[in-house]
Amino acid sequence: MSDPLMSVYPPLEPATLVTRRSLQFPFNSDGLTLTHLGRGAIWLALKALGLGPGHRLAMPAYHCGSEVEAARLAGIEVVFYRVLPTLEVDHEDLFRVSRQCHATYLISYYGFPMPPLPPGTLVIEDAAHALFSYDGGAAIGSRGAAAIFCPRKSLGVPDGGAVLIRDGHIEAQGRPPWKRMARSMASQSMGWAAQSRAGVLRAPATKVFRKVSKAEQAVEEGTLTEVVIGEWNLEVADLEVAASKSSRMTEWAVHGADGEAIRRHRRRNYAILLNALPDVVPPRFRGLPDGVAPLYYPVRVPQRDRTIAELQKRGVRSIEIWPVPHPLLDRRRFAELEPLRHEMLALPVHQGLSEWHMEQVAKAAREAIMAAHR
Ligand SMILES: Cc1ncc(COP(=O)(O)O)c(C=O)c1O
């Protein structure tokens, strides 16, 4: 019998499609628009705030890259502020750079709180990792002039970014290509079966999933990083597709999302890994502040790529965290972040995983880390 296959992002839960609840923040906000991808939401946020050629945007030196790509394609000049190797933002540098810019872009890393909002500047909150996450009493994404979210990362929906404009609204145009959506839905449903505790569903789904997954093949071939970089050098037309309306299925499925239960399950799963693997999580993420809904469990290990391959053999599909910065970043100037790019990976803690699954993730991670060091 095959073991369950557990991925960092949740698969589509059929229950979400048959449940209707009252919408929760940010989905209940007037200024919210669902888009096909998160980068499309950023594209619309920049437009709604009137940012384009002739404007400067302060962005963090530690980033995913697709947010910087959206700003580049919008013709905006990006000025980077410092993020310390602990993954805390250097507040002094953030405030200094913000003063030179027309707007400031803040990112919540893995759903954890953002730095304080610099005064006197338009702020875009990137809550791509922080759906249903709180900083003290405030929902992450509720304070800036605009915020972006990435429901597809947290909810197992087949696509979906979201943009929230605090004092306004922006329309998305068109729908994503149906072929792309059909592929995504097939892979999401297969992911659900592959993670299932029911062996009859699991074995065939795991087999197909492994065969068609580009990421699995890339891990085996050692080319995972190239797959990430392939998402850059985009064109305006790519961003326009990313900024189209989300699929109808995503529009429907967000009505089934129970933010409070998602946060509770993610916190429980994170706590299980904190207990099992306390030494490999960077110190900033060694506790779980009240209200945080973590996107994943960040792990820092010297043999990252081998650890990912060992995890995959044990049924855990981890991912590299941000292995390469956007080409606009001067990597020598921010050289202190380079080690992180080679050493960080993400383990799953999503709401679709039970305590039983989490014991398997913890065991696999312990074994994989040891095997990678041999
Ligand atoms: C912090 C951050 N912002 C924005 C995005 C863009 O999301 P998407 O890949 O849906 O375009 C990502 C995703 O990879 C991200 O990690």
CATH of residue 284: 3.90.1150.10
Question: Does residue 172 lie within any of the structural domains?
Answer: no
Domain that holds residue 279: 178-225+257-373
Across 236-242, average pLDDT: 95
CATH of residue 155: 3.40.640.10
Across 205-234, average pLDDT: 72
Domain boundary pick from 118, 136, 165:
165
Top mutation candidate among 36, 66, 83, 126 for ligand 1, by most atoms within 8 Å of CB: 66
Do residues 67 and 92 share a domain?
Answer: yes
The CB-based long-range contact list for 141-148 (8 Å cut-off, 24+ gap) reads: 141/25, 141/26, 142/25, 142/26, 143/117, 144/106, 144/117, 145/49, 145/103, 146/45, 146/48, 146/49, 146/122, 147/26, 147/45, 148/38, 148/41, 148/42, 148/45, 148/124
Do residues 156 and 100 share a domain?
Answer: yes
Q: What is the model's pLDDT at position 222?
A: 73
- Under 8 Å CB-to-CB from 55, ≥6 apart: which residues? 76, 77, 101, 102, 103
Top mutation candidate among 9, 35, 36, 39 for ligand 1, by most atoms within 8 Å of CB: 39
64 alpha carbon to ligand 1 midpoint, in Å? 7
Please, what sign has the CA dihedral across residues 354, 358, 364, 365? Answer: positive
Q: What is the model's pLDDT at position 2?
A: 59
215 vs 275, higher pLDDT: 275
199 alpha carbon to ligand 1 midpoint, in Å? 33
234 alpha carbon to ligand 1 midpoint, in Å? 14
Do residues 66 and 190 share a domain?
Answer: no
Number of domains in the chain: 2
Do residues 261 and 312 share a domain?
Answer: yes
Q: What is the model's pLDDT at position 233?
A: 85
Q: Are 140 and 134 within 8 A, CB to CB? A: yes
> Please, which pLDDT band fits residue 183 given cuts at 50, 70 and 90?
confident
Across 119-128, average pLDDT: 96
Question: Does residue 324 lie within any of the structural domains?
Answer: yes
359 alpha carbon to ligand 1 midpoint, in Å? 29
Do residues 196 and 67 share a domain?
Answer: no
Across 163-167, average pLDDT: 96
pLDDT for residue 236 is more than 70: yes
128 alpha carbon to ligand 1 midpoint, in Å? 6
149 alpha carbon to ligand 1 midpoint, in Å? 8
pLDDT for residue 216 is more than 90: no
Across 161-170, average pLDDT: 96
Ligand 1 pocket (Cβ < 6 Å) reads 37-39, 64, 66-67, 107, 126, 128-129, 150, 152, 161, 242
Q: What is the model's pLDDT at position 354?
A: 96
Q: What is the DSSP string of 299-340?
A: EE-TTHHHHHHHHHHTTEE-EES--S--TTS-TTTTGGGHHH
User: Tens digit of pLDDT for each residue in 49-98?
Assistant: 999 999 999 999 999 999 999 999 999 999 999 999 999 999 999 999 99
Do residues 161 and 182 share a domain?
Answer: no
If you average pLDDT over every residue of the chain, what do you get? 92
pLDDT for residue 347 is more than 70: yes
Q: Is the omega angle on the peptide bond into residue 302 within 30 degrees of 0, that is, cis?
A: no
> Please, which pLDDT band fits residue 229 given cuts at 50, 70 and 90?
low
Do residues 187 and 312 share a domain?
Answer: yes
Across 169-178, average pLDDT: 90
Q: What is the model's pLDDT at position 72?
A: 97
Question: How many Å apart are CA 92 and CA 98, to the nearest integer?
Answer: 10
Question: Does residue 173 lie within any of the structural domains?
Answer: no
Top mutation candidate among 67, 164, 241, 321 for ligand 1, by most atoms within 8 Å of CB: 67
Do residues 119 and 204 share a domain?
Answer: no
User: Tens digit of pLDDT for each residue in 4-42?
Assistant: 889 999 988 888 888 888 899 999 999 999 999 999 999
Which ligand 1 atom is the nearest neighbour of the CA of 153? 10
Domain boundary pick from 165, 192, 217:
165
Q: What is the model's pLDDT at position 13?
A: 83
Q: Please tell me the least confidently modeled range out of 139-143, 199-203, 300-304, 321-325.
A: 199-203
Torsion on CA atoms 70, 71, 74, 75, rounded to nearest 10: -140
Do residues 70 and 188 share a domain?
Answer: no
